[in-house]
Structure 1
Amino acid sequence: MRVLGVDPGLTRCGIGAVEGRPGAPLKLVAVGVVRTSADDELGARLVGIERGIEQWLDEVRPDAVAVERVFAQHNVRTVMGTAQAAGIALLCASRRGLPVALHTPSEVKAAITGSGTADKKQIGTMVTRLLRLAEMPKPADAADALALAICHVWRGGSQNRLAEALAKASRGRAS
């Protein structure tokens, strides 16, 4: 199963893809960020995020997409921007008929580190180990996107099997 993880944000939207299945070693497919300028107007930034995610979907061709579930923070402006970027990721994946899962930050932290309160450095360290990378993915948004993808591979259960079957069927029709 190939999963694209999206750590939504207006300035830096982390994107990372892994391939694997529960109980087997994971493989890094790609990792990076979609960036927009804080100086641009909101509409232009959302279009930039959409273009970036669409390009990643074209290149990575995931079987499923995992997006961080937006949670209430103290800064309403930050929450709104994060929610808008998450909505773009959901739209792009859904437009292609890809299964989309939302995972909370604490769920991802617990899956990756064993602790739902792990900090960014702990997540980055475990992502580096799990994917057998020479160095930690940077920025942290990219490592968080990989953590989302890993969490989904491990915890997707029946959703993973269904997504795999659908992806194989659609690839068969495209040939």
Structure 2
Amino acid sequence: MRVLGIDPGLTRCGVGVVEGSVGRPLTLIDVNVLRTSADQPVAQRLVTIEKGLDAWLDEFEPDAVAVERVFARSDSSTIMGTAQASGIALVVAARRGLPIALHTPSEVKAAVTGSGRAAKPQVGAMVARILRLDAPPSPADASDAVALAITHIWRGGAQARLDAAVAAASRPARTTPMRTGR
């Protein structure tokens, strides 16, 4: 499975592609940060993010997209930009019909470090360890995007199988006519 992780942000939008499956070594395909200037109008910044994400989807053709779930912070200007960038990420993935998963920061921290309260340096160190890198991807937005992709591979695939099993169990049983042996 190939997953594009997106850590949404209006100034820095982290993107990272990881490939692998549960129980197998994961591979970092690429990682970067899409940057926009605070001097530009918000609409233009969102277009820049959209074009950047479209380019990543074209180049890496992921099987799924994992986006950090936006949560409320005390600074409303930060949350607005993050929410707007998140919306763009959801739209570009949905437009292509890709499966989309939203993971909270604490889910990602727990999946990667074992603790939902881990600090950013701990997340980066574990990302480097999991992917056998010399150093964590930098800046932290890039590392967070990769951590999202890892989380989705480890948790998202299992969740999709559980959802499919629940859906199958809720469908009426199929009956087949008995054959008489003729």
**Structure-2 residue corresponding to 1:2:** 2
2:97 matches 1:68: no
**Structure-2 residue corresponding to 1:128:** 128
Alpha carbon RMSD of aligned pairs, Å? 1.3
**Structure-2 residue corresponding to 1:119:** 119
Q: TM-score, normalised by structure 1?
A: 0.90
**Structure-1 residue corresponding to 2:103:** 103
SS at 2:127's partner residue? helix
Distance 1:73 1:51, change over 3 A: same
Whether the aligned pair in 2 keeps the contact of 1:153 and 1:160 (CA below 8 Å) is no
| Cα distance between partner residues in 2 of 1:112 and 1:4 | 16
Q: How many residues of Structure 1 are paired with residues of Structure 2 in the alignment? A: 162
Per-residue displacement from partner, 1:114-166 (whole Å, max 9, x unpaired)?
0001111000000000000122110000000000000000001142799xxxx
2:50 matches 1:50: yes
| Cα distance between partner residues in 1 of 2:29 and 2:89 | 18
Read off the aligned partner of 1:125 and give its amino acid letter: A
Find the structure with the greater CA-based Rg. Answer: 2
In structure 1, runs of 5+ residues without a counterpart are 163-175
In structure 2, runs of 5+ residues without a counterpart are 164-182
Read off the aligned partner of 1:114 and give its amino acid letter: G
Identity in percent: 65
Distance 1:160 1:51, change over 3 A: farther
Whether the aligned pair in 2 keeps the contact of 1:6 and 1:66 (CA below 8 Å) is yes
| Cα distance between partner residues in 1 of 2:159 and 2:121 | 31
Distance 1:106 1:84, change over 3 A: same
| Cα distance between partner residues in 2 of 1:5 and 1:43 | 23
SS at 2:31's partner residue? strand
List 4+ stretches of structure 1 deviating above 4 A.
Answer: none
Distance 1:40 1:122, change over 3 A: same
**Structure-2 residue corresponding to 1:41:** 41
SS at 1:45's partner residue? helix
2:84 matches 1:92: no
